[in-house]
Structure 1
Amino acid sequence: MNPVITKKLIVLQERFNILEKLLNEPDIICDKKRFCILSKEHARLSEIVICFKRWLSIKQEITNTKEMLADTDMHDIVQDELKEFYLDKNNLEKNLKILLLPTDPNDKLGCFIELRAGTGGKEAAIFAGELFRMYARYSEVRRWKIEIINATYGEYGGYKEIIAKIPDKGTYGQLKFESGGHRVQRIPHTESQGRIHTSTCTIAVIPIIPNTELPSINPHDLRIDTFRSSGAGGQHVNTTDSAIRITHIPSGLVVECQDERSQHKNKAKALSVLGSRLHAIEMKRRQKEVSCTRRILLGTGDRSDRIRTYNFQQGRITDHRISFTSYKLNDIMNGDLDILMQSIFDKHQANQLDKLLEPEQ
């Protein structure tokens, strides 16, 4: 195993031993807040330390067993034992590397997914609708619940903007790499000359922050407007002022919700979206060095601002962040996103391992 990783593991083991002593001290036990923080750290390190101790034990077993190779009568048996030890040792090293990777606490949360048509006008709105259908199909396969918070429809179908909530645990961790600019290249239905057009759609995936962790919002900083719902139809559409528009004056953020018949329910949903957006902005502000996965949460919508290109003429989809290309565009648009996501996760994990191997300054 790399000496840098071994050194990190030794430091963590020492910290684990200190935590065990601290958690038995009366002063710490009486301080519920500190006891809770230390207990969580202890639980997180426990699996790493157990795995590291097992690795050290097998390493010693290998050293002891090698000394028996000089015995010609036992040579074949010893060789078989060594093979088993090396296999266990390699598996433990893989597990330790994964356990050492930094985790995002938001990965366990649900998410809001926001799609907005960018460059391309009517075709961009149609493309946004197809992308939303792709995520809806993916959610359906995974048995996730998806709720539309607000939608502004395009003139020829699709959406100028749509915000949806996927409350199931872990959906943010699964979808967070979808944030960015998505570009489509194809001949639109609205094109009479048969020319290939390029249009874009921007996507933001934001974690659903628990109410207890949401930033406090001063009611005086909010402007709340009501208006009549509009959209695909329904008995309640255009009959009551149930739709809500909330403007956060200091930041300029605007959130609308018209999904529910109740004005109060729409207001609650809109405030939840607003709080999560403000939390995401604050997290970005706090980060001194922004990683590649969070460099841009939501792009400008220009053609040059893209993470992925969907070329319908060639049936090709390319993720530019990892230089990955697949010719299974139809399958992906029908919800088989794992074709792309596994490659993205693998690349992200490889980047994290590279950082892990960097010696500490």
Structure 2
Amino acid sequence: MFVNPDVAADLKDLSTTLSSVEAVMDLDGLRTEIAELEKQAESPSLWDDVEHAQTVTSKLSHKQSELRRVSDLRQRLDDLEVLYELAEEEADAGSASEADDERARLRKDIASMEVRTLLSGEYDDRDALVTLRAEAGGVDAADFAEMLLRMYLRWAERHGYKTDVYDTSYAEEAGLKSATFRVTAPFAYGTLSVEQGTHRLVRISPFDNQGRRQTSFAGVEVVPVVEQADHVEIDEKDLRIDVYRSSGPGGQGVNTTDSAVRITHLPTGIVVSCQNERSQLQNRATAMGVLQAKLLERQRQEERAKLDALRGDGGSSWGNQMRSYVLHPYQMVKDLRTDFEVGNPTAVLDGDIDGFLESGIRWRRQSES
């Protein structure tokens, strides 16, 4: 029994929260699913169908990671109780301080895992396709779009998530007109979908020789990656397909063949492109996957709009502006929906966005309930 009742109460609260996470995740069911996937993975004929094999092995890896993550949290909590007991028995201030630090880390990690259980949407567990676009603000907006691309890629790198940049369209002076990339990770779409909307940057423009303050905007679009089970019909007659040479910053060519592919879906006006592969055939296949994902998301948005109209949901005077990055006259990044804010834009733009993601996921769940 702990001498410190506050510590005992906090550990009990952490255990209760973790128990609710374990219940939602259904650990027995998760173990059964892992056993079934392991059985499939051991089949000699698994790799006869490469795409199916990749799906099985990827899903197995993700499920094993989820089980290991929550099991590690429970073990850490058990170890922490022992550490506190030893610290109190031996009146060891150093061990008590070490236990306090671990308790703070554990609280953060359990809260992060709790947020994961809120991702229960139809496509939340899928990989994400993210498209960034420079909006109002000229060269500053293009530079801001490139800053956001780096922010998301650094976030993925911090977590060990695989990313593939499919297309980058460079602006003439600096930055990007647009970019599309894929994040391959458990619940990548559910996590990153709260980033969708308009991001706003306020700073002293490095491109203004008079050093004036500039406000610029960049748009973020997030859609789930399409799977074989999804029904997305595309008529070849509705497509215009152009091929061109991939280009880098300043318009310089990065290869000598017309391998980059741009596909325009004529009925909707959706344009997608891919230039990261050497083969025109590979680029076309990747671009078609992106187009299917965007059309699937368009169908979902149309269905959601009908439901919103029936519910009488109105628009917002802010439009879809969702986050401000202020570098001058003060330093702050603030989410306009959740009011979550931090005073270190440098860290945020270097990929430290988990706080924003978690507060956004909680906000969305509250808005839906």
The alignment's TM-score, normalised by the length of structure 2, stands at 0.62
1:307 to 301, 307, 322: 322
Deviates more, 1:243-252 or 1:115-124: 243-252
Are 1:289 and 2:307 an aligned pair? yes
Deviations 1:86-131 (A, max 9, x none): xxxxxxxxxxx99997820211000110000000111101111111
Does residue 241 in structure 1 map to residue 274 in structure 2?
no
2:355 is the alignment partner of 1:339: yes
Root-mean-square deviation (Å): 3.0
What does residue 141 of structure 1 align with?
158
Task: Find the residue that maps to 2:300 and give its secondary structure.
Answer: helix
SS of the equivalent of 1:307 reads: strand
Q: What does residue 198 of structure 1 align with?
A: 215
Specify the alignment match of 1:162 in structure 2.
179
CA drift at 1:203: 0.4
Contact 1:114 1:161 in 2 (8 A): yes
Aligned counterparts of 1:99 and 1:147: Cα–Cα separation in 2: 23
Structure 2 distance, partners of 1:130, 1:338, is 17
3-state DSSP of counterpart to 2:202: strand
Q: Is 1:124 the counterpart of 2:141 in the alignment?
A: yes
Structure 1: gaps spanning 5 or more residues: 1-96, 356-361
Question: Cα gap change, 1:218/1:333 in structure 2, threshold over 3 Å: closer, same or farther?
Answer: same
The correspondence of residues 260-299 of structure 1 with structure 2, limited to 5 A, is 260-287=277-304, 288-290=306-308
Matches of 1:102 and 1:144 in 2, distance apart?
A: 18
d(CA) in 1 for partners of 2:186, 2:115: 21
Query: Retained in 2: the 8 A contact 1:179–1:205?
Result: yes
Deviations 1:171-191 (A, max 9, x none): 101100000000000011111
Identity of aligned pairs, percent?
A: 35
CA–CA distance in structure 1, aligned partners of residues 206 and 117 of structure 2: 50
* Matched AA of 2:324: T
Pick from 122, 128, 146: which aligns with 1:105? 122
The CA deviation at 1:139 is: 0.2
Q: Which residue of 2 aligns with 1:210?
A: 227
The separation in 2 between residues aligned to 1:198 and 1:303, in whole angstroms, is 15
Instruction: Rate the CA distance shift 1:198–1:303 in 2: closer, same or farther, 3 A.
Output: farther
Q: Is the 8 Å Cα contact of residues 171 and 249 (structure 2) preserved in structure 1?
A: no
Partner of 1:330 in structure 2?
A: 346
Residues of 2 paired with 1:194 and 1:157: CA distance? 17
Q: 1:110–1:207: 8 Å Cα contact kept in structure 2?
A: yes
How many Å separate the matches in 2 of 1:337 and 1:249?
A: 36
The number of aligned residues is: 250
Correspondence for 1:188: 205
**Corresponding residue for residue 317 of structure 1:** 333
1:235-265 residue CA offsets vs partner (Å, 9 max, x unmatched): 9834111111111111111111111110000
Measure the CA separation in 2 of the matches of 1:336 and 1:174: 14
Which amino acid in 2 is paired with 1:284?
A: Q
Query: Which segments of structure 1 move beyond 6 Å, counting only runs of 4 or more?
Result: 97-102
Q: What amino acid does structure 2 have at the position aligned with 1:171?
A: A
Judge conservation of contact 2:134–2:176 (CA < 8 Å) in 1. yes
SS at match of 1:156: coil
Secondary structure of 2:264 counterpart = strand
Q: Partner letter of residue 307 of structure 2? A: E
Secondary structure of 1:201's aligned partner: strand
Task: Quote the Cα distance in structure 2 between the aligned partners of 1:101 and 1:273.
Answer: 26
How far off is 1:290 after superposition?
4.1
1-structure distance, mates of 2:117, 2:145: 38
1:195-227: CA deviation from partner (whole Å, max 9, x where unpaired): 110000000011001033140211111111111
Bigger radius of gyration: 1
Q: TM-score, normalised by structure 1?
A: 0.64
- Cα distance in 1 for partners of 2:361, 2:350 equals 21
8 Å contact 1:126–1:156 — kept in the other structure?
no
Tell me, in whole angstroms, the C-alpha distance in 2 between the residues paired with 1:264 and 1:168. Answer: 26
Check if 1:219 corresponds to 2:245: no
The 5-angstrom pairing of residues 165-176 of structure 1 reads 165-176=182-193
Query: Conserved in 2, the CA contact under 8 Å of 1:183 and 1:303?
Result: no
Task: Supply the distance in 1 between the matched residues of 2:123 and 2:319 (Cα, whole angstroms).
Answer: 29
Shift of 1:303: 9.2
For 2:301, the aligned partner's letter is K
Contact 2:119 2:125 in 1 (8 A): no
Q: Distance in 2 between matches of 1:172 and 1:219?
A: 28
For structure 2, the residue ranges without an aligned partner over 5 or more in a row are: 1-113
